[in-house]
Chain A
Amino acid sequence: MSLIQVNDLVVMFGPVAAVRGVSFHVEEGESYGIVGESGSGKSTVLRAICGLAPTSAGEIRLDGKVLSAPRHPDFYRRVQMVFQDPYASLHPRHTVDRVLSEPLAIHGFKDREARIEQALEDVGLGHGFRFRYPHQLSGGQRQRVAIARALILEPRVLLLDEPTSALDASIQAEVLNLLDRLRGERGLTYILVSHDLAVVAHMCERLMVMQHGQVVEELTRARLQAHDATEPYTRDLLLASEGYRPLTARA
């Protein structure tokens, strides 16, 4: 049985259908990618799993059980999300310590002190960062704090919404390596949303390409690497991600 199953998911915002009948499943310990351009509904799928967007039709199952709305607090012990913009997702007037202790307080953890120290250690930030404010951190450090906040409850699933697109290339590499390492160490399951095919190819074993709220096709990493896409839209994306080429050089 798959860890996460999404069946015929529809998300409506008023009269607008942002997601129109999307189905996929993610196995335990797998890293699954969702690729698409802006407005394709890729982030909305992720937000729907997390309970931040309404499920208008269809169902989302975790461990075989249909998720209730609103989600039970236990859900967030198992599933956590990391958002795109570390400049916007951390409270500007809360210290790193406060950001990390809030989820522990909500879920009634006792050994907060040790867990905060450990979480900072895990994401490669030392003790020295604990009492800083977000404005005293660089973009990459902030995203590390956001990852630490998500991991502090020891979830099994991380939902990653464009975790590196606001970061410089060199910092992106560091954050991707961190995510890769944490998954190996803890057997986490990832669902990663990105517009960057190269990032998804690097991070995920399987991926889904979305356009206009629908699934275009599902690919394995091996097929993506071999440029073995059947749909024209996926081929366009693959071509565009190689960079610019003058028209004459293109057959």
Chain B
Amino acid sequence: MTALLTVDDLRVSFPTRNGPTEVVRGVSFQLGRERLGIVGESGSGKSQTGRAILGLTPPPGKATAKRLEFDGIDLRDASVATWRSLRGIRISLIMQDPKFSLNPVMTIGRQLIEAARRTSGRAEAKDRAVAMLEAVQIRDPRRVFDAYPHELSGGMGQRAMIAMMLITEPDLLIADEPTSALDVTVQIEVLRILDRLVTERGMGLIFISHDLRLVSSFCDRVLVMYAGRMVEEVKASELAQAKHPYTQGLFKCLPTIEGDVRPLPTLQRDADWAR
């Protein structure tokens, strides 16, 4: 398997009054054309990892790595021009809440065409925009095309955003909690769209989520993060047999419909995990 993305010893730090604080501490992985899950609790550095790959670490934060390569391109000191040719075209990012990621005063159609124009001509862009809305299972693409973001429900907005991120047919998609704001039944539909893109188009997917159960059922491999570190990398199907006590604890403390364990086992944190 040739690696689409190679990350070696990625570190993200933010200056604070007490000197720089590292929020991502030495994350390394390789990604092929597969579904990779990154799981962790809030503050574990999972979102910062996703942003650092795209060079979107918010200032004054700094991201460093021994290697950060996408398809043979070194991303560490990529020029503005290089980034422009990658972001949104070959690497896309889907964020959690469509309310904050769509432009409120532009119709969905105009936003889609703006994205599509980066890789195709004007006439073609509109057809592709409508086709893309259909591809993300929007039943009435014409209506959504002319709608403003506030006229759409959360699930519809998220699908429109996914359409926008995928219209350029990226090789790598970073999805940061793409379904957390959605209802469970809509969530499954959105995952199905992503799943199809990976299997049919051979896209690489990094799926960032706090939901261990969802990730284990959707992804191929899972990285578990704790306090900025990767504590474990497991095959998704073997997550229930994970070795690290943190992963085990995180998995066991979830209530299940069938289970009747009470009190629920809680997570006993060990200071060594963060070291």
- Chain A residues proximal to chain B, CB less than 8 Å: 37-38, 139, 168-170, 172-174, 176-177, 180-181, 195, 197-199, 201-203, 224-225, 227, 236-238, 240-247
The 5 A-B residue pairs with the shortest CB-CB distance, nearest first, are A243-B217, A202-B255, A173-B253, A170-B267, A37-B183
Q: Which of A38, A139, A173, A238 contacts B257 (CB 8 A)?
A: A238
In the bound complex, CA of A131 to CA of B103 (Å): 43
Q: Say yes or no: is B210 at the interface (Cβ < 8 Å to chain A).
A: yes
Q: Say yes or no: is B110 at the interface (Cβ < 8 Å to chain A).
A: no
> Are A198 and B267 touching (Cβ within 8 A)?
no
- Chain B residues proximal to chain A, CB less than 8 Å: 41-42, 154, 183-185, 187-188, 191-192, 195, 210, 212-214, 216-218, 249-250, 253-260, 262-267
Additional pairs, 17, CB under 8 Å, beyond known A170-B250, A173-B266: A168-B41, A169-B41, A169-B210, A170-B266, A170-B267, A173-B255, A177-B262, A180-B263, A201-B256, A202-B255, A202-B260, A240-B185, A242-B217, A243-B214, A243-B217, A244-B191, A244-B195
In the bound complex, CA of A195 to CA of B256 (Å): 14
Between B192, B217, B254, B257, the greatest number of chain A beta carbons within 10 A of the residue's beta carbon is seen for B257
Q: Which of A170, A238, A243, A245 contacts B253 (CB 8 A)?
A: A170
In the complex, which residues of chain A have a beta carbon less than 8 angstroms from the beta carbon of B187?
A: 240
In the bound complex, CA of A211 to CA of B52 (Å): 41
Q: Measured between C-beta atoms, what is the minimum distance from A120 to chain B in Å?
A: 19
> Are A224 and B257 touching (Cβ within 8 A)?
yes
Q: Measured between C-beta atoms, what is the minimum distance from B91 to chain A in Å?
A: 23
Q: Measured between C-beta atoms, what is the minimum distance from B54 to chain A in Å?
A: 25
In the bound complex, CA of A238 to CA of B256 (Å): 11
> Are B257 and A180 touching (Cβ within 8 A)?
no
In the complex, which residues of chain B have a beta carbon less than 8 angstroms from the beta carbon of A224?
A: 257
In the bound complex, CA of A238 to CA of B212 (Å): 17
In the bound complex, CA of A8 to CA of B253 (Å): 38
In the bound complex, CA of A127 to CA of B153 (Å): 45
In the complex, which residues of chain B have a beta carbon less than 8 angstroms from the beta carbon of A198?
A: 254-257
In the bound complex, CA of A203 to CA of B249 (Å): 20
In the complex, which residues of chain A have a beta carbon less than 8 angstroms from the beta carbon of B255?
A: 173, 176, 198-199, 201-203
In the complex, which residues of chain A have a beta carbon less than 8 angstroms from the beta carbon of B192?
A: 244, 247
In the bound complex, CA of A139 to CA of B41 (Å): 12
In the complex, which residues of chain A have a beta carbon less than 8 angstroms from the beta carbon of B264?
A: 173, 176-177, 202
Q: Which of A195, A227, A245 contacts B217 (CB 8 A)?
A: A245
For B186, the closest partner residue in chain A by CB is A37
In the complex, which residues of chain B have a beta carbon less than 8 angstroms from the beta carbon of A202?
A: 255-256, 259-260, 262, 264
> Are B217 and A177 touching (Cβ within 8 A)?
no
In the bound complex, CA of A199 to CA of B188 (Å): 19
> Are A168 and B184 touching (Cβ within 8 A)?
no
Q: Measured between C-beta atoms, what is the minimum distance from B134 to chain A in Å?
A: 18
> Are B210 and A168 touching (Cβ within 8 A)?
yes
Q: Measured between C-beta atoms, what is the minimum distance from B8 to chain A in Å?
A: 29
Report if A236-B183 is in contact (Cβ < 8 Å); known contacts: A38-B154, A170-B253, A174-B266.
no
> Are A240 and B42 touching (Cβ within 8 A)?
no
Q: Which of A38, A173, A197, A199 contacts B265 (CB 8 A)?
A: A173
In the bound complex, CA of A247 to CA of B210 (Å): 24
